[in-house]
């Protein structure tokens, strides 16, 4: 009787348990155990959740820092046939409430640091919910929530011989919410099959790398992307399948992250540029040996200046690209590019090349693929076996995401003949003038070095003849001369057009001076608000 070995998350544990059962998993100074111990605890957690009524299709939410508990939930919850809802603890309480109700959570595992957050919204959770307390140190918790138990206590009382059910590989495994500048958060889900294939593809993308670059079995892994962010970009599953030593840092604190790197010999991490910037600027950074550390940067473009600072510290740094809806891996930059080479830094900072099994195209509004010549610019669309099939209970959002049979990233860029994608804008920010796409980022970069300019942003304004025409919003530095700065900006634009690096269509008709630029709650430029502001002026 053939056994088909469906692609389920539980399968990711088999090889490390057989081959590296003694390898360590560490949660800062809270917990330390072997893979064999991890498996024991996953089985106990499976038993404990079953006792709480969790079964096939149940949704179990987690609000926690990056902990050993979270890793255990990454496995135990989906292995029950239940769905792991990784709650973004940085959302506003009303948004957290929305996601809990939308997800239909039945059990919520909540770290004591988030008891006030949950306490404030608990009365408005629609369905009956059972709460499990997560603590780094045992002790009473100050909460009026009715607790079904405390995590370590529940595990200790549960059956270490618990057996998980066999699952279909297309069973939903995970759920989390992504927020845009408008509308309610959207639920993004992935199946067991998608997560297993993503795990293998990440290894195929960053594993077979010559020299000491890339990810390999001797690495020590520590995430610095929260586990609620697209499963920490899938790396906890990757690290587990490869049997790596893993270090979970708890709540992020730059000094503590550096101390963990030093104490446990961490060699592989991933984070957004902001976090790396904070780490490099921390008090103990200079004294910490970072020369064995490899870092993948995602979530935002890797600025060349940050890459240079990191490389100067001996950090092997490169960019990768993806989004919540893509699990997230789509591309990875060249991990082996030498910074001694003329384009080495650019290759490490580029959005990167398509990972194995990823189909990547840039398309115009008609969905026709544009040439990979490094010049033609269009929306980045993708196919791969691990992209989300759509948003939870949102057929129209799902249809837009997959319009024309390709997943729309909402990013705009060009692909060169060697397959390297370079992003130039968000689709919603690109300026569409007379059939040409003008990158707002590119226009901003051209003028950004003008003395006396504090801040600038390029937006498209409706134009009867051209569809849109570019407009620059600008903020003057205190004491600067507006006319002189504007003249310098126009000269920089003319120079770029003259040099052929900027299209002549990109010359802005207007430069609008204002006191400050509108920003979103997370500090990003709010171009929607800018367009409204300029339209009214």
Residues forming contacts to a copy of itself in the complex (CB under 8 A) are 1-7, 11-12, 14-15, 18-21, 196-197, 200-201, 203-204, 206-212, 214-219, 241-242, 336, 353-360, 372, 383-385, 387, 389-390, 398-399, 402-407, 415, 417-419
What is the spatial distance between Cα 466 and Cα 459, in angstroms, rounded to a whole number?
14
For the question of residue 437 being annotated catalytic, the response is: yes
Q: Determine contact, residues 30/68, Cβ cutoff 8 Å.
A: yes
What 3-state DSSP class applies to 475?
strand
Task: Compute the Cα dihedral for 345, 346, 347, 349 and give only its sign.
Answer: positive
Q: Of 112 and 334, which CB lies nearer to a copy of itself in the complex structure?
A: 334
- 328: number of CA atoms within 13 Å, CB side? 24
Q: Of 19 and 274, which CB lies nearer to a copy of itself in the complex structure?
A: 19
Q: Helix crossing, 273-281 with 254-264: angle to 10°?
A: 80
Q: Of 405 and 523, which CB lies nearer to a copy of itself in the complex structure?
A: 405
Q: Is the peptide bond before 328 cis (omega within 30 degrees of 0)?
A: yes
Of 330, 325, 328, 326, the closest CA to residue 397 belongs to: 325
Give the nearest distance from C-beta 415 to a copy of itself in angstroms.
8
Residue indicated by tokens 């970072």: 290
Q: Of 216 and 426, which CB lies nearer to a copy of itself in the complex structure?
A: 216
For the question of residue 182 being annotated catalytic, the response is: no
Q: Of 372 and 442, which CB lies nearer to a copy of itself in the complex structure?
A: 372
What is the spatial distance between Cα 182 and Cα 520, in angstroms, rounded to a whole number?
10
Q: Of 312 and 403, which CB lies nearer to a copy of itself in the complex structure?
A: 403
Q: What are phi and psi of 246, to 5 degrees?
A: -125, 140
Catalytic residue among 39, 65, 437, 466: 437
Catalytic residue among 112, 325, 361, 379: 325
* Strand-pair category, 453-463 with 147-150: unpaired
For the question of residue 513 being annotated catalytic, the response is: no
What is the spatial distance between Cα 318 and Cα 7, in angstroms, rounded to a whole number?
30
Of 469, 426, 478, 473, the closest CA to residue 448 belongs to: 473
- 215: number of CA atoms within 13 Å, CB side? 29
Give the nearest distance from C-beta 398 to a copy of itself in angstroms.
7
Q: Of 67 and 240, which CB lies nearer to a copy of itself in the complex structure?
A: 240
Catalytic residue among 24, 143, 178, 336: 178
Give the nearest distance from C-beta 255 to a copy of itself in angstroms.
29
Give the nearest distance from C-beta 133 to a copy of itself in angstroms.
36
DSSP 350: S
What is the spatial distance between Cα 203 and Cα 216, in angstroms, rounded to a whole number?
9
Q: What are phi and psi of 129, to 5 degrees?
A: -130, 145
What is the spatial distance between Cα 468 and Cα 460, in angstroms, rounded to a whole number?
5
Give the nearest distance from C-beta 215 to a copy of itself in angstroms.
6
Q: Determine contact, residues 149/133, Cβ cutoff 8 Å.
A: yes
Give the nearest distance from C-beta 345 to a copy of itself in angstroms.
20
Q: Helix crossing, 68-79 with 35-51: angle to 10°?
A: 60
For the question of residue 39 being annotated catalytic, the response is: no
Q: What are phi and psi of 57, to 5 degrees?
A: 85, -15
Give the nearest distance from C-beta 211 to a copy of itself in angstroms.
7
Of 189, 77, 191, the closest CA to residue 132 belongs to: 77
What 3-state DSSP class applies to 273?
helix
Give the nearest distance from C-beta 247 to a copy of itself in angstroms.
18
What is the spatial distance between Cα 84 and Cα 209, in angstroms, rounded to a whole number?
33
Give the nearest distance from C-beta 336 to a copy of itself in angstroms.
7
Tokens representing 429 are: 């920010």
Catalytic residue among 152, 432, 445, 505: 432
Q: Of 132 and 387, which CB lies nearer to a copy of itself in the complex structure?
A: 387
What is the spatial distance between Cα 449 and Cα 441, in angstroms, rounded to a whole number?
13
Q: Of 239 and 473, which CB lies nearer to a copy of itself in the complex structure?
A: 239
Residues marked as catalytic: 178, 325, 432, 437
């Amino acid at each position: 009787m053939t056994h088909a070995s469906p692609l389920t998350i539980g399968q990711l544990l088999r090889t490390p348990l057989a081959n590296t059962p003694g390898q360590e998993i560490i949660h800062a100074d809270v917990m330390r155990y072997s893979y064999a111990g991890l498996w024991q605890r996953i089985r106990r957690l499976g038993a404990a959740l079953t006792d709480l009524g969790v079964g096939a299709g149940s949704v179990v939410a987690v609000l926690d820092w990056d902990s050993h508990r979270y890793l255990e939930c990454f496995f135990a919850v989906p292995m029950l046939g239940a769905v792991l809802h990784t709650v973004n603890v940085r959302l506003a309480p009303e948004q957290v409430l929305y996601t809990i109700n939308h997800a239909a959570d039945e059990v919520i595992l909540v770290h004591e640091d988030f008891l006030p957050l949950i306490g404030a919204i608990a009365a408005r959770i629609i369905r009956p919910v059972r709460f499990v307390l997560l603590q780094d140190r045992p002790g009473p918790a100050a909460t009026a929530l009715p607790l079904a138990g405390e995590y370590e206590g529940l595990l200790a009382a549960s059956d270490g011989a618990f057996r998980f059910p066999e699952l279909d590989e297309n069973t939903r495994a995970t759920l989390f919410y992504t927020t845009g500048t408008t509308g309610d958060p959207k639920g993004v889900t992935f199946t067991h099959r998608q997560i297993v294939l993503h795990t293998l593809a990440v290894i195929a993308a960053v594993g077979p790398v010559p020299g000491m670059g890339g990810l390999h079995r001797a690495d020590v892994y520590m995430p610095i992307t929260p586990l609620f962010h697209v499963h920490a970009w899938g790396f906890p599953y990757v690290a587990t399948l490869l049997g790596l030593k893993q270090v979970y840092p708890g709540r992020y604190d730059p000094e503590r992250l550096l101390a963990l790197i030093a104490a446990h010999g961490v060699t592989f991490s991933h984070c957004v540029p902001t976090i790396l910037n904070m780490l490099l600027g921390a008090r103990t950074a200079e004294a910490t040996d970072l020369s064995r550390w490899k870092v993948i940067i995602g979530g935002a473009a890797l600025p060349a200046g940050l890459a240079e600072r990191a490389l100067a510290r001996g950090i092997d740094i490169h960019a990768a690209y993806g989004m919540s809806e893509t699990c997230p891996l789509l591309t990875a930059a060249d991990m082996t590019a030498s910074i001694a080479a003329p384009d080495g830094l650019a290759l490490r900072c580029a959005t990167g090349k398509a990972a194995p099994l990823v189909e990547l195209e840039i398309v115009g509004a008609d969905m026709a693929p544009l040439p990979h010549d490094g010049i033609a610019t269009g929306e980045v669309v993708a196919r791969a076996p691990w992209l989300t099939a759509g948003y939870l209970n949102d057929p129209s959002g799902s249809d837009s995401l997959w319009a024309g049979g390709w997943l729309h990233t909402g990013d705009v860029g060009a692909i060169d003949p060697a397959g390297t994608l370079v992003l130039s804008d968000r689709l919603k920010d690109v300026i569409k003038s007379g059939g040409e796409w003008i990158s707002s980022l590119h226009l901003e970069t051209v003028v950004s070095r003008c003395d006396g300019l504090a801040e600038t942003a390029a937006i498209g304004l409706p134009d009867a003849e051209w569809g849109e025409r570019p407009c620059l919003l600008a903020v003057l530095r205190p004491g600067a001369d507006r006319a002189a700065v504007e003249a310098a900006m126009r000269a920089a634009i003319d120079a770029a057009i003259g040099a052929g690096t900027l299209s002549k269509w990109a010359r802005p008709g207007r430069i609008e001076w204002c006191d400050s630029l509108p920003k979103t709650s997370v500090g990003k430029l709010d171009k929607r608000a800018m367009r409204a502001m300029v339209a009214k002026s």
